[in-house]
Every structure is written in structure tokens, then in C-alpha cells.
């Protein structure tokens, strides 16, 4: 949804500026998420130390530096902003890390999520990123189709399918990273196979039988609740075998891996729509 400023600029023929909007996004986050955590979460020092560790920064050195002339009884803990220096990419990193830090605290997760989305929607220019459940993704990636990503992850969360959610989300992340590092394509296939394996258990009478084992057993009437999925199971498994064969012969084929990602997402969505 376009922001009110975007409409204003359009009315007056003012051109949007990506660099400027990135700076604006950073300041919106500084004033909301970062400030709220620093002012309201106790002990804030724990947050700062966690962030420093994840970034490979020495927290003790940072704290000592700001307290060099402090002769009082209490120490001052540097703000989160001191770790980003108002850099757009570093701000994105910190938002992801903060969401991870508060993964077991729903109220804080909700706060971070809501104000990150608000900052994105307030931009007068497409920042070319999307935020979904604690992670940023490039908005232009084909793999980030709304039905393929947002809907599926949402359905998995609603149905409390954590193992599938983790594998599928990790596979998507690896796929996006593979655009710069082709060696990650093998990880994508592995993660999607795991997501399929976990999804298959939803359909089976025996929950201990997984996707690969299912295909070796011909007693479909006894082990599969819905016969509609028989051919889908077989075809997906054959596709996965083909990708693995390609690995043995040469590098993974990017377009075939992308297709496998799409098919996995469609299959997961189909399974849970039918539940």
C-alpha cells in the first residue's frame, strides 16, 4: 500500500529517491523498535551483548569505551544505533537478530513485526525488500510469490507445523542466497526434501513412515489416507532423484531447483488446504 507521502509526491511531480527512503526507514526504526527496546526492556545489557556477539563485535570494549570517563556506580550501555551507524543493511541485520532474541516473547515479537511493517509501508518508494516472520527477503525474487511464501508459512504456523515451517523457510532462504552462491543449491534441495518428508507424515496412518519410505511400500490403501496424493508423491520423489543425479554429473541446475521449490510449496499448500 502506498504511503500518504508517496501520493503527495505524485501530486506534485516529486521523484522518489531510493537512497533517501532507505535513510528514512532507518530513522523510523531508530525511533520505534530500537528506542523501545533500549528504554523498556530489562536488562537491556543482555540484548546489547547478544547483538554484539552475533555481529562479532566485542561488547566489553564497546561498553568500556562509553564509560571511560564515567566514575559513577552504574555503567552506560551503548544504544543499538551505535551498532548500525544508521546504515540501512546493518539496520536490517539488527531487526532480524532482535526478532531472534525475542523469539519466545510474543509481545516483543509482535512489536518488532508491526513497527517494521509500518516503517516499510510508510516509505514513499519501494525499498525492494519484504519482511516476513523475522526475516527480510528481496522483493523482486520470483520465489517470493505471495501464495508460495506468505500463505504457506502462515498456514504452517496456524497448524503448528514447526518442523515443516523451519525446513521450508530455510530452503527459501538458501534459494535466495544461491543467486550469489550456486553451491547453496544443494542445500535448497535437501531442505525441500525434508519439508516434503515432514509433510507426508500428515497424510499417513503410520506417522513414523516418511516420504522416501512411503514410496517403497506398495500397500497404499493401508498407509495413505487420501489416494489423490499417490502420483504427486512419486513424481516429486523422482524429480528429487533427478536433481541428485545432476549433482553427481555436474552442478545443480538452477532452474530445475527453482521448479522443485515451487512444486514443494504448492504441494504443502495443497495438503493443508485439504485438511
Query: Rounded to 5 degrees, what are φ and ψ at 129?
Result: -135, 160
Q: Copy the grid coordinates of residue 214.
A: 512411503
Say which range, 123-127, 142-146, 203-207, 250-254, has the weakest mean pLDDT. Answer: 142-146
Beta-bridge partners for 135: 132
3-state secondary structure of 122: coil
Residue 98 has pLDDT above 90, yes or no: yes
Q: Copy the grid coordinates of residue 138.
A: 528481496
Query: Rounded to 5 degrees, what are φ and ψ at 131?
Result: -115, 130
What is the Cα–Cα distance from 35 to 193, expressed in whole angstroms?
Answer: 41
If one compares 246 and 200, the residue with the highest pLDDT of the two is 200
If one compares 39 and 275, the residue with the highest pLDDT of the two is 39
> What's the pLDDT score for residue 227?
59
Helix (H) or strand (E) holding 174: helix 162-177
Helix (H) or strand (E) holding 211: helix 211-216
Quote the mean pLDDT of the chain. 81
If one compares 16 and 124, the residue with the highest pLDDT of the two is 124
> What's the pLDDT score for residue 1?
42
Residue 221 has pLDDT above 70, yes or no: no
> What's the pLDDT score for residue 2?
47
Helix (H) or strand (E) holding 136: strand 135-138
> What's the pLDDT score for residue 26?
97
> What's the pLDDT score for residue 93?
96
Predicted model pTM: 0.56
- Region 85-93: mean pLDDT is 96
- Region 91-96: mean pLDDT is 97
Which one, of 108, 176, 117, lies nearest residue 142 by Cα?
176
> What's the pLDDT score for residue 65?
92
What is the Cα–Cα distance from 4 to 222, expressed in whole angstroms?
Answer: 59
Q: What angle do CA 94, 98, 99 make, to 5 degrees?
A: 120
Q: Copy the grid coordinates of residue 171.
A: 530452503
Helix (H) or strand (E) holding 137: strand 135-138
> What's the pLDDT score for residue 33?
97
If one compares 83 and 257, the residue with the highest pLDDT of the two is 83
If one compares 230 and 82, the residue with the highest pLDDT of the two is 82
Amino acid at each position: 500500500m502506498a504511503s500518504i507521502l508517496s501520493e503527495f509526491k505524485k501530486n506534485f511531480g516529486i521523484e522518489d529517491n531510493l537512497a533517501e527512503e532507505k535513510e528514512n526507514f532507518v530513522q523510523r526504526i531508530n525511533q520505534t523498535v530500537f528506542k523501545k527496546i533500549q528504554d523498556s526492556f530489562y536488562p537491556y545489557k543482555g540484548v546489547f551483548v547478544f547483538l554484539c556477539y552475533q555481529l562479532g563485535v566485542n561488547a566489553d570494549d564497546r561498553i568500556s569505551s562509553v564509560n571511560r570517563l564515567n566514575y559513577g556506580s552504574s555503567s552506560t550501555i551503548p544504544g543499538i544505533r551505535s551498532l548500525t551507524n544508521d546504515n540501512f543493511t546493518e539496520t536490517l541485520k539488527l531487526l532480524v537478530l532482535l526478532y531472534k532474541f525475542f523469539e519466545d516473547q510474543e509481545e516483543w515479537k509482535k512489536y518488532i513485526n508491526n513497527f517494521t511493517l509500518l516503517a516499510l509501508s510508510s516509505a514513499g518508494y519501494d525499498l525492494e525488500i519484504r519482511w516476513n516472520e523475522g526475516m527480510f527477503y528481496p522483493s523482486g525474487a520470483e520465489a517470493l510469490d505471495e501464495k508460495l511464501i506468505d500463505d504457506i508459512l502462515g498456514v504452517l504456523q496456524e497448524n503448528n507445523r514447526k518442523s515443516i515451517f523451519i525446513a521450508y523457510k530455510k530452503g527459501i532462504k538458501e534459494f535466495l542466497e544461491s543467486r550469489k552462491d550456486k553451491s547453496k543449491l544443494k542445500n535448497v534441495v535437501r531442505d525441500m526434501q525434508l519439508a516434503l518428508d515432514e509433510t507426508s507424515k500428515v497424510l499417513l496412518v503410520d506417522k513414523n513412515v516418511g516420504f522416501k519410505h512411503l514410496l517403497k511400500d506398495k500397500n497404499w490403501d493401508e498407509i495413505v489416507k487420501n489416494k489423490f496424493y499417490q502420483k504427486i508423491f512419486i513424481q516429486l520423489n523422482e524429480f528429487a532423484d533427478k536433481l541428485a543425479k545432476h549433482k553427481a554429473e555436474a552442478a545443480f541446475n538452477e532452474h530445475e531447483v527453482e521448479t522443485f521449490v515451487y512444486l514443494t510449496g504448492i504441494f504443502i499448500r495443497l495438503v493443508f488446504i485439504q485438511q
